[in-house]
Amino acid sequence: MERRDYYEVLGVAKDASDNDIKKAYRRLAMEHHPDRNPSPEAEERFKEASEAYQVLSDGEKRKIYDQAGFDGLRNTGYSGFSHMGMDDVFSSFGDIFSDLFGFGSRARRGGPNRGSDLQYDLILDFKEAVFGTERDIDVERLVPCEACEGRGASPQSKVSRCPTCQGRGQVVHGSGLFLIATTCPECGGQGARHSEPCKSCRGDGRVRKETHLKVKIPAGFEDGMSLRYQGQGETGPRGGPAGDLYVAVRVRPHKTLKRDDNDLILETTIDMVHAALGGELKVEGLEGELIVDVPAGTQPGDVITLRKQGVPNLRGGNRGDFHVVVRVEIPRSLSAKQKELLAEFAGRSSKKRRLFT
């Protein structure tokens, strides 16, 4: 479809008020809404009108369009709706429908309601997160009732059609503008009514139960990440699908090590003689002692890196590095002998001395 001027699309004048624009869009949206008028042509008209409305109802966008047209908008990153599928148009435009019409943009899928998602907070030690671990967790959640197999009706129950939705499982509302269907609140989408609700679950089809789950944390996991277990959340009422379980991981800090992505950082202090002369230094890594080669002439703040001694990569591949940040300690008190030796040392290397005693 050829691109038409937004004012022309809505059939309003260039100086139309916000209210005129809203009214014009409301009329067009009702006429071409795909739930009322399912044809490719109507869909195009609906998208075109929605895009025009999105631009002209936004002061900023409207100004740019008035001054620089479609190209001006494109330069701001706005790409409109023409390339989008209808679902994307609705999801990026959804709130406007509630504003304009007082209800959501589109019918929801029918059938029983899905259960809620659950979150389980798991606290791990630093090392467990670095190398991965397995945990058994207990989660209390709603599961299908065994007595009625999740239907919510006792076995002797007689089934009749739900009077609220006439057995369709959905009810339609929307005061004649759009027809919006939602899950029937009476039967929860089953479309059926049971003469005797199940006694174990009081007709809900679900019971609360503690369930066990083995959770595998992969190596390289970090504080704040979570794992998703599909279908391990609450079961939906009366046979509805289950939500998901999110295991949210918190990691306890380590007493000496810090983590930066896949690198580990350790601060350590050596005395000035070892900094000057260099030598081997033992430090405590995650898996035990590590030997660090301190080069002669090491300066305060120097970083010595041990390659591939850090955190395993979550997605496989190389381990990170282990960085040792060296602090150098200057003695606060010296014996007479030490003073003498240092003075002698200073005398030998006095070419650049700036302090005199």
Residues making contact with Zn ion (CB under 5 A): 145, 147-148, 162, 164-165, 184, 186-187, 198, 200-201
Q: State how far the Cα of 312 lies from the Cα of 319, in Å rounded to an integer.
A: 4
Could you tell me the CA-to-CA distances from 7 to 24, 44, 59, 99 in Å, in that order? 10, 16, 14, 21
Burial (CB < 10 A; 0-12, 13-18, 19+), residue 345, is exposed
CB of 195 to Zn ion, least distance (A): 15
CB of 245 to Zn ion, least distance (A): 22
In the chain, count of helices (H) and strands (E)?
8, 15
Considering the complex, state which of residue 144 and residue 310 has its C-beta at the smaller distance from Zn ion: 144
CB of 15 to Zn ion, least distance (A): 50
Considering the complex, state which of residue 162 and residue 292 has its C-beta at the smaller distance from Zn ion: 162
CB of 240 to Zn ion, least distance (A): 13
Considering the complex, state which of residue 73 and residue 207 has its C-beta at the smaller distance from Zn ion: 207
Q: What are phi and psi of 347, to 5 degrees?
A: -60, -40
Cβ atoms 264, 258 nearer than 8 A = yes
Selection from 144, 163, 160 nearest residue 152 by Cα: 144
Considering the complex, state which of residue 122 and residue 198 has its C-beta at the smaller distance from Zn ion: 198
**Tokens read off for 180:** 């919006």
The single residue listed with the structure tokens 């001694």 is 309
Considering the complex, state which of residue 163 and residue 241 has its C-beta at the smaller distance from Zn ion: 163
**Tokens read off for 202:** 């009081």
CB of 118 to Zn ion, least distance (A): 21
Considering the complex, state which of residue 167 and residue 218 has its C-beta at the smaller distance from Zn ion: 167
Beta-sheet pairing, 279-285 with 226-229: unpaired
SS3 (DSSP) at 42: helix
CB of 204 to Zn ion, least distance (A): 7
